[in-house]
Chain A
Amino acid sequence: MSAASPERLVYMANQIARFFASQPGEAAAATADHLRAFWAPAMRKEIIAWVEAGGGGLDPVAAGAVALLRQSAQGKAHGDAPA
């Protein structure tokens, strides 16, 4: 299920990442937390799939956040924490 085009999701993720990059602390983790809290699972899956398919456009912090989502998704597949 897609809740937005990948380009739109990339744009939104970069917006979020830019905010957290200006805050103290681990920006990628904070961005990932925001995506978990406010994005529907379909949106998170979509952006993970975009990255897995080699899609670009994410800035480094956003890319780090999506990597974290991907890790936890893989963990979830193995019975760990949710994505």
Chain B
Amino acid sequence: MSLIEEIDYGTPASASEAQVHLTIDGQSVTVPAGTSLIRAAKQMGTTIPKLCATDSLKAFGSCRLCLVEIDGRPGTPAACTTPVAPGMVVHTQTPKLKKLRKGVMELYISDHPLDCLTCAANGDCELQDMAGAVGLREVRYGYEGENHLALPCDESNPYFTFDPAKCIVCSRCVRACDEVQGTLALTVSDRGFGSQIAASQSEPFLESECVSCGACVQACPTAALTEKAVIEIGQPEHSAVTTCAYCGVGCTFKAEMRGEELVRMVPWKDGKANRGHSCVKGRFAWGYANHRERILNPMIRNSISEPWQEASWDEAIAHAASEFRRIEARYGRNAVGGITSSRCTNEETFLVQKLIRTAFGNNNVDTCARVCHSPTGYGLKTAFGTSAGTQDFDSVEHADVIMVIGANPTDGHPVFASRMKRRLRQGAKLIVIDPRRIDLVRTPHIEAEQHLALRPGSNVAVLTAIAHVIVAERLVNEAFVRERCDWQEFQEWADFVTRPEHSPEATETLTGVDPEALRAAARLYATGGAAAIYYGLGVTEHSQGSTTVMAIANLAMATGNIGRLGAGVNPLRGQNNVQGACDMGSFPHELSGYRHVSDPAARALFEADWGVKIDPEPGLRIPNMLDAAVGGDFKAIYIQGEDILQSDPNTKHVAAGLAAMECVVVQDLFLNETANYAHVFLPGSTFLEKNGTFTNAERRIQRVRKVMTPLNGYEDWEITQLLSNALGYRMAYAHPSEIMDEIARLTPTFAGVSFESLEREGSIQWPCNEAAPHGTPVMHLEGFVRGRGKFVMTEYVPTDEKVGPRFPLLLTTGRILSQYNVGAQTRRTDNVVWHEEDLLEIHPHDAETRGARDGQRVTLRSRAGETSLRAKITDRVAPGVVYTTFHHPGTQANVVTTEFTDWATDCPEYKVTAVQVAPSNGPSAWQQQYDAQAQQSRRVKRLEPGE
């Protein structure tokens, strides 16, 4: 295995279909019009020296190294900024060019440290390469003149350093921050010889607006911006392409290694989800894999009041299996179940649900999508026939209007947000529907045309009012509706939405949204060209989550904004493999590929392959399992890679459910909060230690490649296999590719997927089958999967979670850029420097009337529970609304959230909780009690050698 080297063509590819013929160094070349000379030469096989050019950025023309001579043209133009022209004759190497380039390099090197042997970039430095390329042998100017060599290094960022002494001011970092990331945090301060790269107002990187995406580090051609891991470890020597284990964007990275030590994660240019970009989590926050708190040995105990006892794998697996069998024998077949993980691979998820359906013999399997995007599955399947988003991420490059509903892409899906921001900077119009003024509303060179800051819980009223305007003002794409949808259903729906009570003016009292702003948003969405909707958990995590998803589908169908590039309905999935977990049959009512368990034909397929009878009845969902546990009927659970105690609503109820079980088996990297109530702990493996696939939010199946031996001894699928075998249901997979072959055999939408086809294609978007052998980037192009698109009435039903005198504020929850979900991974990295605790955002007016001060601890109380955290006073939230994140277990944000759920799917209503806020002196009684219980529960009795 060797280091994967990506070719840098110097400038981006041209999208032109017109071809241009020219001659470079005597060779005839044909390239698309608009291609730069430096790129045309590279495609031909000739590398023109360069420093300021790289193919992820627009041409800049500052370094003066890529000069060429062109017959009939005066001077020596830069090859990066000069486009090809028909009949052009170009020379890349002439005596004149050699002399010029050598002179340029002499100037660069005269003000550069001559420490190549001890430099961290030694062997990976473009300046070093160019010195070699131009034949630099001496520097006539000497090294004694005025220089920048004594400038101090900025070590403030935990992951990379900025050494201005090694900077050549090529501006690649500045342009990467502008063009790729879209934060515009960097600039060149001063001018002439005094020019220096500066973060914000010449601040340390950590204190600046920099979001640590790593684009500048990647773009830097020298050691000026270098990963601290490279400085510490040295240059990597081999690499493998793998997929990030954070959010649903599914960025692909080169895991660059030295032996089995990970040196760095570098975003892969050919990654179709991220196109060579990254965020602070995927790029840098992988240190948890070797964190001291990682559990590497299995552990068992008889009760949660006892300390953990380390055990061998054989003992732990045998104990878990015997407990499941004992409990089944005593309480019945339906007293056990399991939860699959959206952080694990498709193959691992498939295996867990298979174990439950075969070895347990029931359908009591669920997944964390229950608490995030289950309404997406229900809503989109109802409207279109498929439980998934409709577009690929590339589609955003064709959008004229982008509507973001209940999502905060710059924090939750940062790499896709950068792609979205690029399109917005190009002129696409933005509509944001969100109670908070998310960053996207006003960010450099971007300002939303409309921000509908609706009252939490009023999504359906707002979307139905938008539909009202579209129909009433005759903005419907009637030709599309007649061709693609049920016309009768449409007419009934049109009658429904045009009722006076659905007008923006009538709904204003419910939603708090200015009717004129809503009307403007509706007109823009319907008439602004290709219009795409991107939405997140602010849509789904409501009592009307499924209705909201169907309201979104209605808008797309009514305006013809579906089934084509630049449009569509796009759920932004939370976790890395939440789409895959849903696809793999993790829900209690569905087999893989979303086929209901009551379908005899689907069951027959699985029964023939698995050799068991499949229960034709749906099993218990996570909330049902917990309710049944509290009721005394559900007694044992196998949880792979989920932390329901921290992530699920109404923590006290979750704790009561877990405490009521006789056997809780947790398979995870760390002793998470759920493990406080576990009896068996099976140590899991990280994404770096396993083979498999993840499926991202655009249905893209991508490989996860093992780059190091699992520290715990097994990949997660192997642990499930051990457990299944101990339970008596034989599994004998030798490699995850065999599991994928089984998935493909049993799942029509995955029929063409295999590790071989993924190797060949790079990635595949399902459906992939005989009809679509290379996958399906955009769905519903010719017609909807269900036949005709279904319009659904979306009556607004106010949530039963009401504000009142005791709880006058509405709490809504979300996440922050540097942290991920329950924080089990990111809290164990240096990302904590950006977010060491969850804060409560509160409007200045609400803070004033309660006597709360910025940074002061406050009590957050609902009818479900009480916690305390520090206040952050900001007008980002509207009066009457407070906001927090749930990344830190100490905050216990979900002690406060309630049991209300989406009507169709039981997805919790995290986004609306009536609360009160008051100044506080310290942790709540529950927090103190919880902390004591957690400490007690995490005691471990180590296995002595030879024991």
Contact = CB atoms under 8 A, between A and B. Distances in A.
A2 interface: yes
Nearest to A14: B903
B616 interface: yes
Interface in B673-715: none
Given A4-B628, A37-B596, A18 B617 contact: no
A2 B618 CA distance: 15
Contacts of B616: 82
A39 B587 CA distance: 12
Interface string B342-364: 00000000000000000000011
Interface in B261-302: none
A5 interface: yes
Given A4-B624, A5-B627, A19 B633 contact: no
A77 interface: no
A42 B334 contact: yes
B627 A34 contact: no
Contacts of A22: 793, 795
A37 B633 contact: no
B633 A42 contact: yes
Contacts of B618: 37-40
B598 A37 contact: yes
B904 A38 contact: yes
Nearest to A44: B617
B704 to A, nearest CB: 31
Given A16-B903, A37-B598, A2 B631 contact: yes
Contacts of A3: 620, 624-625, 627-628, 631, 633-634
Given A37-B589, A40-B619, A2 B904 contact: no
Given A15-B543, A38-B589, A42-B334, A24 B492 contact: yes
Contacts of B903: 12, 15-16, 18-19
Contacts of B797: 15, 18-19
Interface residues of B, number: 37
Nearest to B546: A19
B332 interface: yes
Nearest to A2: B631
Given A3-B631, A4-B627, A5-B627, A40 B904 contact: no
Nearest to A19: B903
Contacts of B596: 37
Nearest to B797: A18
Contact of A8 (B627, B633, B792, B795): B627
Interface in B885-931: 899, 901, 903-906
A1 interface: yes
Interface string A15-28: 11011001110000
B239 interface: no
A43 interface: yes
Contacts of B793: 22-24
Interface string B324-344: 000000001011000000000
Nearest to B493: A24
A2 B588 contact: no
A20 to B, nearest CB: 10
**Which residue of A3, A5, A8, A39 has the most chain B CB atoms within 10 A of its CB atom?**
A3
Contacts of A2: 627-628, 631, 633
A56 interface: no
Nearest to B629: A3
Interface string A37-62: 11111110000000000000000000
B547 interface: yes
A40 B363 CA distance: 9
A63 to B, nearest CB: 17
Contacts of A41: 617
Contacts of B627: 2-5, 8
Nearest to A21: B795
B107 to A, nearest CB: 71
A7 to B, nearest CB: 11
A17 to B, nearest CB: 9
A39 B617 CA distance: 9
Contacts of A40: 334, 363-364, 588, 617-620, 624
Contact of A1 (B598, B621, B623, B633): B633
- For the complex of A and B, 6 pairs with smallest distance between CB atoms: A15-B903, A4-B627, A22-B795, A3-B624, A1-B633, A2-B631
Interface of A: 1-5, 8, 12, 15-16, 18-19, 22-24, 34, 36-43, 82
Given A1-B634, A5-B627, A23-B792, 5 more contacts: A18-B795, A19-B904, A22-B793, A43-B624, A82-B617
18 contacts: A1-B628, A1-B634, A2-B627, A3-B620, A12-B901, A15-B543, A18-B797, A18-B903, A22-B793, A23-B792, A34-B904, A37-B596, A37-B598, A38-B621, A40-B624, A42-B620, A43-B624, A82-B617
Interface of B: 332, 334-335, 363-364, 489, 492, 543, 547, 588-589, 596, 598, 616-621, 623-625, 627-628, 631, 633-634, 792-793, 795, 797, 899, 901, 903-906
